[in-house]
């Protein structure tokens, strides 16, 4: 469906052409002076030089030709040569009615369905999920939904860190605690027990304990430093043996995975974040030797100080671009190696048109090296769209990365619990009669909106301060404010139906007042917001849009008697308008990854 701006530009372009000028000059924009007009066109200013005429003369001529155009209520030429445009009520109403009949409210869908893989969980198995993993999950999930809505085939992959040193640390600590287990008896022939040797609670405690033991503080005694060094060496050795396929350690690896995955799923579910693929670094382990061989055969990789590297620097680089290290001098594969093997596997399995990665922006250099290597070594096509969406940090009130009150790393579960509890208090306070289980589930929904909107309303790359008071407030640019607006609409619609009205049958009329017109204008901009968000991978565009839309609705609501309106035609029109507003808000929050309760 053509956008409002395109339709206006066409009409104004026709007028330029009819007056003897280039029709391209008719390009309109949203007004930057909403107090004066809704849209504007500065084409007369741009054409003045070419046609050797004063801009206001051109603008006058064009405006004269638009006076009887039914699309406009008013087209005014103002000095020095602007065209100020106000749309007609008819035009705006017809546009919305048409939008409601379109698939996806008029979002332009591509001719073919591009396949995009999104890599956005990044959780590390055996380590607790902490707030650092929150932003990639929230942003990635929103982008996944936005791209899908815009007609892409999207595959979300969690890409777990499930092959690293943390596995060796857990094995080593387990051996310290339970040397009697069969995994540590070199003579044991198997089969190994089916029951895992730890619970999730134990595992959650084992990793931090092991990690602490592998490090010694600067002021530690020589003896302590030696012990830490030995412990770490043992963990690295265990990791290596596990990776090489030593059966007892592979068996422990399976236990770690089996115990961790349900817990990870539970955590992501609580955030309404869902993956199509639960793959990880381990999945490509066996592909690495073949890929390395291929790099060598084609001379893409060469040896440098004992390591195997691919040069990726370009003469146009403003900053130094170090080579991408494929194998360390001891032959070990690295983070980049795994990412490259994963790209190779993804191309083979899914033939994606693009792969987009969501992690902390401090990984930008890593991904730049990986992308360049992938292109250079032809693991991907020249046109494969590899993109990195680096997120900024979620900070505490002190401006430093968010911590627990005690100063430790904040676990995701704890954070979600805290915000749920906070919201529960608020919901209970404003609805003392609400049954407890409804209050709980309402609170969880509103809390999720607070958390996600608080995050997504910022550009992904920006750091932001997590302010629980602000994020959970029912007023201001917050998730709960949006939900509150929706709940308000739902309650009006319910009353209307209770009084015998039929929401579905209600017909939208022309705007009756300025607030109504404003709300209608915002509704016409839905597709622009959603398409813009997809193009720039910027869910913040959807947030900004629904904040404006909610404000426009609330101004209308405060200035208009809806249910008390005695003119039935007007009343129906108001109902049609607010139910459309609700539909659009519902669609948008679903794209952002949260939902609204019935009341709050
Ligand atoms: N596990 C990594 C981390 O915690 C994030 C993985 C991101 N994805 C990737 N393909 N490298 O930092």
Residue 407: the pLDDT is: 80
Q: What is the residue-averaged pLDDT of the chain?
A: 96
**Pairing between β-strand 307-310 and β-strand 324-327 as defined by DSSP bridges:** antiparallel
| pLDDT tops 90 at residue 167 | yes
Q: Give the contacts of 30 (CB within 8 A, at least 6 positions apart).
A: 5, 38, 39, 40
Which pLDDT score, from 0 to 100, does residue 20 have?
96
pLDDT for 488: 98
> Residue 190: what pLDDT?
82
Residue-wise pLDDT for 273-320, tens only, equals 999 999 999 999 999 999 999 999 999 999 999 999 999 999 999 999
Q: Percentage of residues in the chain with pLDDT exceeding 70?
A: 100
Ligand 1: nearest atom to the Cα of 366: 11
Residue 401 has pLDDT above 90, yes or no: no
CA 79/CA 83 separation, integer angstroms: 9
The pLDDT assigned to 408 comes to 81
- CB burial readout 423-439, b (16+ within 10 A) else e: bbebbbeeeeebeeeeb
Please give the pLDDT value at position 132. Answer: 86
Tell the residue nearest (CA) to atom 6 of ligand 1.
122
Backbone φ and ψ of 319, nearest 5°:
-110, 160
Q: Average pLDDT in the 172-193 region?
A: 95
SS3 track for 66-90: HCCCCCEEEEEEECCCEEEEEECHH
- 128 confidence band (pLDDT: 50, 70, 90): confident
Pick the closest to residue 452 from 148, 140, 127 (CA basis).
Answer: 140
Distance 281 CA to ligand 1 centre (A): 9
SS (H, E, C) 123-147: CECCCCCEHHHHHHHHHHHHHHHHH
**Does residue 348 have a cis peptide bond before it, meaning omega lies within 30 degrees of 0?**
no
pLDDT digits (tens, 9 = 90+) for 35-65: 999 999 999 999 999 999 999 999 999 999 9
pLDDT confidence tier of residue 537, bands split at 50, 70 and 90: very high
Check pLDDT > 90 for residue 359. yes
Q: What is the pLDDT of residue 405?
A: 80
Structure tokens at 131: 């707030």
Three-class secondary structure of residue 4 per DSSP: helix
pLDDT for residue 535 is more than 90: yes
Q: Residue 205: phi, psi to the nearest 5?
A: -90, -35
Q: SS3 for 318?
A: coil
- Percent helix, strand, coil in the chain, to 5, is 55, 10, 35
Helix axes 436-456, 412-430, angle to 10 degrees: 120
Mean pLDDT along residues 471-480: 96
Element of type H or E holding 521: helix 514-524
Residue 168 CA to ligand 1 center (angstroms) comes to: 18
417 CA from centroid of ligand 1 (Å): 25
How confident is the model at residue 593, as a pLDDT?
A: 98
For residue 402, pLDDT over 90 is answered with no
| Global pTM value | 0.95
Task: Take atom 3 of ligand 1 and give the residue whose Cα is closest.
Answer: 122
Question: Which protein residues touch ligand 1 with a CB less than 6 Å away?
Answer: 119, 122, 124, 159, 161, 339, 357, 359
Average pLDDT over residues 336-363: 98
Rounded CA gap, 15 and 44, in Å? 12
CA-closest residue to ligand 1 atom 2? 122
Using H for helix, E for strand and C for coil, what is the string for 523-537? HHCHHHHHHHHHHHC
Question: How many angstroms is it from 124 CA to the middle of ligand 1?
Answer: 8
Instruction: Measure 591 CA to ligand 1 centroid, in angstroms.
Output: 24
**Helical spans, DSSP H, in 431-467:** 436-456
Residue minimizing CA distance to atom 7 of ligand 1? 122
Distance 161 CA to ligand 1 centre (A): 6
Q: Are 592 and 543 in contact (CB under 8 A)?
A: yes
Mean pLDDT score, 215-228: 93
- Confidence grade of residue 239 (pLDDT, cut at 50, 70, 90): very high
Give the model's confidence band at 100: pLDDT under 50 very low, under 70 low, under 90 confident, else very high: very high
**Which atom number of ligand 1 is nearest to the Cα of residue 133?**
4
Q: Are 124 and 85 in contact (CB under 8 A)?
A: no
Comparing 130-139, 374-383, 530-539, which segment has the lowest mean pLDDT?
Answer: 130-139
Q: Taking the alpha carbons of 440, 441, 442, 448 in that order, is the dihedral positive or negative?
A: positive
Please check whether residue 439 is in contact with residue 431, taking contact to mean a CB–CB distance below 8 angstroms. yes
How far, in Å, is the centroid of ligand 1 from the Cα of 260? 17
Neighbours of 326 (CB within 10 A): 24
Residue 235 C-beta-side C-alpha neighbours within 13 Å: 24
Question: CA-to-CA distance for 135 and 141, rounded, in angstroms?
Answer: 10
Beta-bridge partners for 394: 464
Ligand 1: which of 122, 334, 357 to mutate, judged by most atoms within 8 Å of the beta carbon? 122
Best CA proximity match to 139, nearest among 120, 116, 115, 117: 120
**Residue pLDDT, tens place only, 542-591:** 999 999 999 999 999 999 999 999 999 999 999 999 999 999 999 999 99
Q: Say if residue 412's pLDDT is above 90.
A: no
């Amino acid at each position: 469906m053509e956008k409002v701006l395109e339709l206006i530009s066409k009409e104004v372009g026709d007028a330029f052409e009819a007056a003897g000028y280039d029709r391209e000059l008719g390009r309109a924009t949203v007004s930057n002076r909403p107090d004066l007009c809704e849209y504007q066109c500065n084409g007369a200013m741009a054409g003045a030089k070419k046609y050797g005429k004063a801009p206001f003369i051109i603008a006058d001529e064009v405006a004269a030709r638009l006076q009887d155009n039914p699309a406009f209520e008013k087209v005014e030429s103002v000095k020095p040569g602007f065209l100020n445009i106000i749309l007609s009520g008819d035009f705006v109403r017809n546009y919305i009615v048409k939008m409601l009949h379109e698939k996806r409210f008029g979002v332009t869908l591509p001719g073919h369905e591009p396949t995009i893989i999104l890599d956005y969980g990044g959780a590390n198995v055996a380590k607790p999920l902490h707030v650092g993993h929150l932003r990639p999950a929230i942003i990635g999930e929103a982008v996944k939904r936005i791209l899908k809505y815009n007609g892409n085939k999207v595959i979300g992959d969690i890409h777990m860190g499930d092959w690293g040193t943390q596995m060796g640390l857990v094995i080593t600590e387990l051996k310290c605690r339970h040397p009697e287990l069969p995994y540590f008896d070199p003579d044991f022939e198997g089969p190994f027990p089916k029951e895992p040797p730890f619970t999730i609670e134990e595992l959650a405690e084992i990793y931090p304990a092991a990690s602490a033991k592998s490090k010694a503080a600067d002021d530690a005694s020589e003896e302590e430093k030696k012990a830490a060094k030995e412990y770490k060496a043992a963990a690295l050795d265990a990791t290596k043996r596990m990776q090489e396929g030593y059966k007892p350690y592979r068996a422990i690896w399976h236990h770690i995975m089996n115990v961790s995955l349900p817990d990870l799923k539970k955590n992501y579910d609580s955030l309404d974040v869902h993956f199509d693929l639960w793959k990880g670094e381990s999945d490509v382990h066996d592909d690495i030797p073949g890929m390395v061989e291929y790099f060598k055969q084609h001379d893409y990789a060469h040896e440098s100080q004992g390591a195997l590297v691919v040069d990726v620097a370009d003469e146009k680089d403003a900053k130094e671009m170090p080579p991408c290290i494929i194998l360390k001098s001891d032959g070990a594969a690295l983070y980049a190696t795994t990412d490259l093997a994963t790209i190779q596997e993804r191309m083979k399995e899914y033939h994606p048109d693009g792969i987009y990665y969501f992690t902390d922006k401090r990984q930008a250099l890593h991904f730049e090296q990986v992308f360049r290597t992938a292109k250079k070594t032809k693991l991907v096509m020249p046109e494969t769209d590899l993109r990195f969406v680096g997120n900024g940090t979620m900070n505490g009130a002190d401006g430093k990365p968010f911590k627990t009150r005690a100063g430790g790393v904040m676990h995701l579960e704890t954070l979600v619990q805290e915000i749920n509890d906070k919201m529960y208090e608020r919901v209970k306070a404003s609805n003392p009669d609400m049954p407890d289980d409804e209050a709980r589930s309402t609170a969880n929904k509103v809390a999720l909106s607070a958390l996600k909107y608080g995050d997504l309303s910022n550009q992904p790359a920006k750091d932001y301060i997590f302010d629980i008071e602000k994020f959970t407030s029912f007023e201001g640019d917050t998730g709960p404010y949006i939900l509150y607006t929706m709940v308000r609409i739902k309650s009006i619609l319910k009353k209307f139906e209770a009084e015998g009205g039929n929401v579905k049958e209600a017909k939208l009329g022309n705007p009756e007042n300025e607030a109504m017109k404003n709300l209608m204008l915002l509704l016409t901009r839905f597709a622009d917001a959603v398409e813009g968000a997809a193009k720039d991978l910027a869910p913040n565009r959807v947030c900004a849009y629904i904040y404006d839309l909610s404000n426009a609705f609330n101004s209308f609501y405060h200035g208009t008697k809806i249910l008390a309106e005695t003119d039935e035609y007007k009343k129906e029109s108001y109902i049609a308008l607010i139910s459309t507003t609700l539909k659009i808000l519902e669609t948008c929050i679903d794209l952002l990854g949260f939902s609204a309760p019935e009341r709050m």
